[in-house]
Amino acid sequence: MISELLLDFIPNTSCKLFTVKDVSLYNENLPVTCGLLEIKAPGFTYVVNTEVERDFEQKVTMSFLQLQSQGAKYNNPLPDGNYEIKYSINPNEVLFVEYNYYSTCNLYNNYISQLCDYFNKSCELTQAEQEKEMERLFEISTLLDNVKISAQECNDVPTADRLYEKAKQLLEKHGCNFNK
């Protein structure tokens, strides 16, 4: 049996990190050596490399990606967008797996904020305004789901980027005026 390399991605609602977890199925008769995790952040051309052991869990932060100094007092939120991730073991040029992980955390938190505003203020809206706002919010939710599917399942990052921008534009419209 050849080792089957698999990764799992665990988001965090703070948007300051996500975790890459090794969930690979390794051949128990062969040693796992020279584990290498490579991550390229959205909008950047360089790759961050780190050596990893079997069954690793790597927290990805701004500091880890070298997008802020290691000595910074606080970690800033990670940028939304597609993270190109590669994991390999010896022989690294043969045994590797590549993933797209598309973070929508910042935009999703904005969506949640607007959804909560809607729930808190919906009594102030007419039935027609409520329906229009729910349609807008549902469209945004669907777009955010489709961003991840497009990038992570279909490997179509350009489509994911377009869907992300459409969801962002819909969020910026703010739907109903809750300050009546």
Which of 109, 84, 116, 104 has its CA nearest to residue 163? 104
CA gap 137, 160 in Å, rounded: 18
Residue of 85, 99, 101 whose CA lies nearest to 52: 85
Q: Which helix (H) or strand (E) holds 40?
A: strand 36-40
* Residues 35-92 pLDDT 10s: 999 999 999 999 999 999 999 999 999 999 999 877 777 889 999 999 999 999 999 9
pTM of the model: 0.91
Measured in degrees and rounded to the nearest 5, phi and psi for residue 174 equal 60, 15
pLDDT tens digits for 133-177?
999 999 999 999 999 999 999 999 999 999 999 999 999 987 554
